[in-house]
Chain A
Amino acid sequence: MARERQNPLFYMLLVMLVIMAVGPILLMLATSLKLNVDIMSDRSSLIFMPTLRNYEAALCNLLWYEPKSVDFCDPTFGRALVNSLIICLISTVLTLVIGCMAAYALVRFRFMGRDAVSLSTLLMRMIPPAVLLVPVFGIWTFQYGIAGTRYGIILIYVAMNLPFVIWILQSFIVQVPIQLEEAARMDGAGPFQVFFLVVLPLIKPGLAAAAIFTFRIGWNEFLLANALSDRATRTVPVTIVNSLTEYNIDWGVIMATGMLLAIPPILFTFFASRQIITGMTAGAVKG
């Protein structure tokens, strides 16, 4: 006997889990490739003529050609995709830049209230976004006047993700041996050179993990974006929900947008995760 036989129930459980995980995505993919006629027909079937019309409709204002299938180009989805990309990329970059510096300061510098700050960054994370919704909306609208702008959404995303990013990066920075920084100082590096030339390259895995995390939170976020955006600055999740109206639900286009929505985080995660390699500090100091 080479291997112990597994319980058939175990396999059934596996299959069910796979269906639960992959099923909705397949359904979304199939629907996005169907015409409305096929979607609405009583006999839902797997046999249909696949078409890219829904994708053309969703991206009509971003395509380099004018799709023949689209009579009237609704720019909403294309615009939302651009909004989502801009907002998420900028907020991710800002969060990382501020986060890594804050984490470094919290780990390496001794100042009054350091532990309190360190702890409260995490406590902030415990507050659900729904609680923030009303006050943030009020402040953004009446005090800052940035409701309905991309800046407003970027600002709240940065504020929301910063605590967790600081917390993740702290644990990475702690692992950078202090002797490396001392060696760099002896070699003539100033504080910023120590940070950018020695510490930052060594916490790249941490930055990548934090970047994936931040980007995906922003990408999927609905609640705050819904409250803080207007017609021109809506992100994709908000747009999809708003396109479910009582008069018309274009499932094909919504599903196509859903598929498009899934691509950037996948690409982003793919590229960022290549930075996550272990043993960055191997050979730095005697273990």
Chain B
Amino acid sequence: MPEIRIENLRKAYGEHAVIEGLNLEMADGEFTVLVGPSGCGKSTTLRMIAGLESCSGGAILIDGRDVTHLEPKERGLAMVFQDYALYPHMNVAKNMSFALRLARYPAAEIDKRVREVARTLDLTPYLDRKPGELSGGQRQRVAMGRALVRDAGTFLFDEPLSNLDAKLRGHMRAELALMSRRIRKNMIYVTHDQVEAMTLGDRIVVMRHGKIMQAGSPEELYRRPANRFVAGFIGSPTMNFLKADLVAEGDRVVAVGQGFRFPFAAERSAALRSFVGRAVDVGIRPSGFIASEAPDALQLPVILSEYLGAQSIIISELGGARIAIEVNAPQPLTVGGTRGFEVAADGIHLFDSKTENAL
């Protein structure tokens, strides 16, 4: 199975650079997710890997072979498109076997493979139907089936679930995770949905403005975001950011903001000492707040409470910013008044206000 390497990849439309100097390596059998807000260049990157978009510079290597300027069909990749792109004049079986028929496989082999894939995707009863007679979820499965039938080394997915409704999307996400575990092929998956990225990816590549902000395992990205953007993008509900200054108090470093002060333990203080005096953004995940009755706990107003069942999200205010707090409470919480919270020391992320990089 191929390993894909991207070296210094560039894409520009005239003067306007969309992707600048992208370097990325995808190991054998890895599920890589490219994630980022719309316009970050993730789809363009995928399309360049596929060969549907030309490269303005750099190189793409599949298994050490430079494919930068090859036609899509010479790269041996299969792709699932966002809006399915099924051939409307062909039935499901013909749609799935199109690539095999082009490659002149023997009819018996084609039939065997189509039936096999149709069985795994529950498409057997629909093999004779045209795409127009299928529901959204079925069409999506046909689109995947078309890629699976080919037995390609690498699968590319361009936001394949974004057109499905929430319930179906959850279901298909699980199916996809199972499928990827079963076939163990290279998968490159583009999405703007961080939940999809977190649940599917072995490795997540967060992109913004055509640059890689951070690449790593879901846990790495969640626990140790490299910058403010990744911290805010990964995790739901999103991380709270508070303005603060780093101040030295004796041998401790303290983040002091409007209405709060977070002292750091000795070890971390030592690491942060060189940053004393800088303006920082303090990042705290909604789940980082711990309800506390201690006298020195933060007293936070309950402005709004969103009851989700097992948890509630409290919308509150701290340091002049709106913050969200996740509380495990089986009953809906009353709005108004204040509640005491503490923040665990390892729940506090610090980012340089200027460079946005993690400290």
Q: Which residues of A contact B (CB under 8 A)?
A: 177, 179-180, 182-190, 193, 197-198, 201-202, 279-286
Contacts and interface: CB of A to CB of B under 8 A. Distances in A.
B85 A284 contact: yes
20 contacts: A183-B79, A184-B98, A185-B51, A186-B52, A186-B73, A187-B73, A190-B73, A193-B102, A202-B88, A202-B89, A281-B88, A283-B131, A283-B132, A283-B133, A283-B139, A284-B84, A284-B85, A284-B86, A285-B81, A285-B85
Given A179-B83, A283-B139, A185 B163 contact: no
Contacts of A197: 98
Interface string B133-172: 1101001000000100010000000000001000000000
Contacts of A179: 81-83, 85
B interface, size bucket? 20 to 34
Given A185-B71, A188-B99, A189-B73, A282 B83 contact: no
Contacts of B86: 180, 183, 283-285
Contacts of A284: 84-88, 131
B102 A189 contact: yes
A183 B134 CA distance: 19
B99 A187 contact: yes
Given A283-B133, A284-B131, A186 B89 contact: no
Given A185-B52, A286-B82, A286-B163, 13 more contacts: A179-B81, A180-B86, A180-B87, A183-B85, A184-B98, A185-B51, A186-B50, A187-B102, A188-B72, A202-B88, A283-B88, A283-B132, A284-B131
Nearest to A188: B73
Contacts of A285: 81, 83-86
Contacts of B136: 286
Interface of B: 50-52, 71-73, 77-79, 81-89, 98-99, 102-103, 130-134, 136, 139, 146, 150, 163
A283 B131 CA distance: 5
Residue of B78, B85, B99 contacting most chain A CB atoms (<10 Å): B85
Residue of A180, A185, A188, A282 contacting most chain B CB atoms (<10 Å): A188
Contacts of A280: 88-89
A185 B85 CA distance: 12
Contacts of A282: 88, 131-132
Nearest to A201: B89
A235 to B, nearest CB: 36
Contacts of B89: 201-202, 280
A283 B136 CA distance: 9
B79 A186 contact: yes
B73 A182 contact: no
A109 to B, nearest CB: 14
B97 to A, nearest CB: 10
Given A283-B130, A283-B131, A286-B163, A185 B87 contact: no
Contacts of B133: 283
Residue of B51, B73, B133 contacting most chain A CB atoms (<10 Å): B73
B102 A182 contact: no
Nearest to B73: A188
A179 B160 CA distance: 13
Contacts of B50: 186
A193 B99 CA distance: 11
A152 to B, nearest CB: 38
10 closest residue pairs by CB, A with B: A283-B132, A283-B131, A282-B132, A187-B99, A285-B83, A179-B85, A183-B85, A188-B73, A286-B83, A284-B88
A183 B102 contact: no
A280 to B, nearest CB: 6
Contacts of A187: 73, 98-99, 102, 146, 150
Nearest to A181: B85
Contacts of B71: 185, 190
A279 B88 CA distance: 9
